[in-house]
Amino acid sequence: MVIPKINAADRGTRGQRIFRRFNVVFLTGVVILTLYPFVNIIARSFSQNGYIISGQVNLLPRGFNLTTYRIVLTDPLFWTNYGNTVLYTVVSTLVAMILTTCYAYVLAKKHLRGRTALILIAVFTMFFNGGLIPNYVLISSLGLKNTIWAVALPNAISVFNLLVMKTFFESLPPDLEEAAAIDGMNTYRILWRIVLPLSKAVMATMVLFYAVSFWNSWFTAFLYLNKLELFPVTVYLRNIIAGVSGGEMAGANGRDIGELLQVAANIQSVTVLLTILPIVAIYPFVQRYFVSGVMLGAVKG
């Protein structure tokens, strides 16, 4: 195998080489600073409580221990709530994408009467809202409490995502839609057959934004749901951290003091890992659309 020689000209000037080396060092430091907290959380989740309390856990587990994982993962309520989270995330993301896409597509039409008013109404909600008590009264009066719609509907449209999609739709060549209209397509077929296939990047980005938001959300469910079997896993884990269901389970199962101390020591690390694992697993499949989707929707071409 012949290794090609690199000419001095290909390496750039001395200033360029210094700049590249500085970039390598700087970005390596950023990666280390970014990964260290995550690796530390993983190590703490598998460590014994004595090492955690004394601050001896850094990048590797000390006194390998699975007590907290066993306690959480063997609880049937955990799996019920985990299934609820998957259901709530899928349904809420689907509803949000349908509403946001339709609203953004309408706002992208500059000939639409009342378009400015519709944009102002959306932007107004970014700065002002009805407040917690009026929202609670509204959801209760509509009979949505203890239903999936109490989680899906209140946050169905993110104005930031709406504006990004609107800008992206405005950047699409209008000639494509005009040609489709001449061929006899109505507005809905144009959106489904022409616009959406050209919008895979921004759609994947918005799906990721919405899915992460709904997956991590707990306050909406905590506010509008009052049955344990309806809670998402985030509320279940929040209750354990707060010592609500943790104390009840400990008394019911007769766990000893050692187990309680172990749970108290690394429950936060365990809950963080159990919560983010699905998102971490999904992200690589949409990562290639992420940057292009945001940039295409943020800058009009």
Domain 67-298 class? mainly alpha
Q: What pLDDT is attached to residue 27? A: 92
Provide the residue ranges of all domains of the chain, joining segments of one domain with +: 67-298
Burial of residue 161 (number of CB atoms within 10 Å: 0-12, 13-18, 19+): buried
Q: What pLDDT is attached to residue 281? A: 80
Torsion, CA 77, CA 80, CA 82, CA 84, rounded to 10: -130
Give the Cα separation of 115 and 69 in Å (integer): 53
Locate tokens 């992460």: which residue?
Answer: 212
- pLDDT truncated to tens, each residue of the chain (301 aa)? 455 555 555 566 888 888 899 999 999 999 899 888 888 888 888 888 888 878 788 888 888 888 888 888 888 888 999 999 999 999 999 999 999 999 999 998 888 888 889 999 988 988 887 788 888 999 999 999 999 999 999 888 999 999 989 988 888 888 888 888 888 888 888 888 888 888 888 888 888 889 989 998 888 999 999 888 899 988 888 887 776 444 444 454 545 666 666 777 788 788 888 888 888 787 777 666 665 555 554 444 4
